[in-house]
Amino acid sequence: MHRYQILVEYVGTKFVGWQKQLKGKSIQKEIENKLSKLLKQKIIIYGSGRTDAGVHAIEQSAHFDIKLKIKEIKKLIKSLNFFLNPKKISIINIYKRKQQFHARHSAKERVYKYFIINRLAASALENERAWHIRKKLDIKLLKEGAKKLIGSHDFSTMRAKNCYAKSPIKKINKITIKNIDKKIQIEFRSKSFLRNQVRSMVGCLKYLAENKWDIKKFEHIFKSKKRSNCAPPAPAHGLFLAKVIY
């Protein structure tokens, strides 16, 4: 068997998420169907992790196995994109990998980016690609709150009820916040995240930055380990899986 890594860009708006489900269209299923047709055998792809409905990817990573070596990778990429591009899925590249490589288990770090348009007018160009917030956010408070999330912590407050992770403890390696022309980018780096963790962190940071909470309340809610105390999670359409590092 030959193993290949596949890098995928997609707009998640009209999908139920990355992972195959009984009902609705998933990115995984769309790619599997086209790969199976072009390679003339049943292909199953394994992603680095699931992205929820409405979440996008700048560079999702996955792998698949095939009996015979692919002779013309560029031709395969072009053929896949002929079918997938109209559905707003793009295959960026395909690489030959050793059998030990696993898209999920071999990952050392995952990078997510969340985008906020912070101005009175909504963005015509980035509709469904960023969270539009009219009230001016305090960037200093955003950064102050972000510092409290860095390191190893119990993220029970920011964990979805249907999260199946064995432990609520995760280590956030780095959080970077940029504000350019009223477009705020919050970048999160960690080996792995809990379900809804990034969107929940952004929701709580938003409450802090618009002065609904002060920093003491932000810390108290974070340390309470109670999901019921969490601010409403940020909407999915502002979230992007940016890169998976191996």
Return the active site residues: 52
CB contact set of 36 (below 8 Å; sequence gap of 6+): 42, 43
Question: Token pair of 175, please?
Answer: 């959080």
b/e burial code for range 93-129 (CB count within 10 A of at least 16 → b): ebeebeeeeebeebbeebbbbbbbbbeeeeeeeeeeb
Euclidean distance between CA atoms 137 and 82, whole angstroms = 42
In DSSP terms, 131 is beta-bridged to 116
Contact between residue 56 and residue 126 where contact means Cβ atoms under 8 Å apart: no
151-to-43, 72, 140, 155, 185 alpha-carbon distances in Å: 38, 44, 20, 11, 20
Euclidean distance between CA atoms 93 and 95, whole angstroms = 7
For the chain, what is the largest distance between any 2 Cα atoms, rounded to a whole number of angstroms? 59
Question: Which amino acid type is present at position 123?
Answer: S
